[in-house]
Amino acid sequence: MAVLRDLRPVYVVGVGMHRYQFASDTNYIDMGLTATRGALADAGIAFDAVESAYVGCTGIGLAAGRIMFNHIGSTGLAVTQVENASASGSSAFQLACFEVAAGLRDCAIAVGVDKYGDQVRAAGKEGVGKLSDTANIPLIRYAIMAEHLKKAKGLTQEDLALVASKNHTNAATNPFAQFQKPRTVEQILASTLVAGSTTSLMCTPRGEGAAAAIVCSEEGIRRLGIAGGKPIRVLSSVLQSEKPQVGRELPSVTVAQTVADKAYAEAGITSDQLDVVELHDAFAIEEILYTETFGLAPKGEGQLFLRDGGSAIGGKCCVNSSGGLIAQGHPLGPTGIGQIHEIVHQLRHENGPRQQPDAKTAMAHMIGLGTIAIAHIFQRD
């Protein structure tokens, strides 16, 4: 079976974002096109150079992508709308990469855009059972996991607060983040208790926004005259869903582990080579779990890795320099592409105060409804 590296090389050549924000009067078209125009400007190309588009969204309606692009120019490009829960944007990006790698197009764009609407609001109040046949309220399950790890591995509430404080502090210098204020551990602990040891500032906020990424083949880069130093290679992209686990009470990291291991193998790297990781931290406990799952820290020592500064900017592997879902935000459709926006600037060494020194290799990771995982590996040539 062929993997991405067996096909034509694919590069991210342009990224753009509309700031993540709380619910507003801004329509999704304005947000999506702000991100699109930002990516076009970053790549230095015109919209008519783009041959196909994949739009990741969860609740803005049928054919929303086609309607959006009509406002920038009816060029006749192929538009595909992608819904895969929180992994919608990541999945749209993967499909754009696969199309270019297969030689079907030389230039494609992935756009994630969403507004906080009635469907998401209903799921938040009543559990994902409102959307599917099995109730699944992520906050409660991850709060239970945190309590379990407090007893089993010496995790403390202060560790959860340290994750959130780190990410809020990172987001304070991110102009696209929903939260842009540094928070101390004490401030995190003093925020509203929502479940178990989890406080409100340890959780992702509700919101809306947009992010875009343009991918090209080497031929596309040459033909379009894209400047050297811009392209970042996509080494691998892996998506998988979890097998049913009836009666399970605690969240599982099995599918995230499988996807990360496959992504490493397909990219030809090990976890030790990662300099930057943007991962799914809808709740603070997730960052600790996934740093272990992805091999950044030994099993059972995620909190020690955190306490020692291993996941901080300048640490062994910088985790969520954007602020992560906790502080940059999690508008669903855009989230995975927003991670890529951060990674591209990190690997180009143009991330300002959030720059990880000498960053060369990075991973973006997202989860969809707790049962879908996707990971991409990127590298600076």
**What distance in Å separates the CA atoms of residue 333 and residue 312, rounded to the nearest whole number?**
26
pLDDT interval class at 369 (50, 70, 90)? confident
Specify whether the CB–CB gap between 321 and 276 falls below 8 A. Answer: yes
For residue range 19-46, what is the model confidence (pLDDT) as tens digits?
Answer: 999 999 999 999 999 999 999 999 999 9
Average pLDDT over residues 306-324: 99
| Residue 370 near residue 378, CB atoms below 8 Å | no
pLDDT band, very low/low/confident/very high, at 133 (cuts 50, 70, 90): very low
Helix axes 254-267, 284-293, angle to 10 degrees: 50
For position 196, what pLDDT does the model report?
Answer: 83
pLDDT at 137 over 80: no
Domains assigned to the chain: 1-381 (3.40.47.10)
Q: Identify whether the C-beta of residue 356 lies closer than 8 Å to the C-beta of residue 321.
A: yes
Task: Give the pLDDT of residue 131.
Answer: 44
* Angle (deg, nearest 10), helices 335-347 and 88-101: 60
**The pLDDT value given to residue 202:** 95
Q: How far apart are CA 343 and CA 320, in angstroms?
A: 10
Q: What is the pLDDT of residue 5?
A: 87
* Residue 141 scores a pLDDT above 90: no
Task: Please tell me whether residue 72 adopts helix, strand or coil conformation.
Answer: coil
pLDDT in tens, 153-175: 788 999 999 999 999 999 999 99
What pTM did the predictor assign?
0.94
Share of the chain above pLDDT 70, in %: 92
Q: What is the pLDDT of residues 188-224, one digit of tens each?
A: 999 999 988 899 999 999 999 999 999 999 999 999 9
**What pLDDT is stored for residue 136 in this prediction?**
52
Look over the chain and give the mean of its residue pLDDT values, rounded to a whole number. 92
Would the pLDDT of 279 be above 80?
yes
pLDDT tens digit string along 247-263? 555 566 889 999 999 99
Q: What is the token pair recorded at 274? A: 């990662």
Beta strands 11-21 and 208-216, pairing class: antiparallel
Q: Alpha-carbon distance 378 to 92, whole Å?
A: 16
* 276-278 and 232-241 beta bridge pairing: unpaired
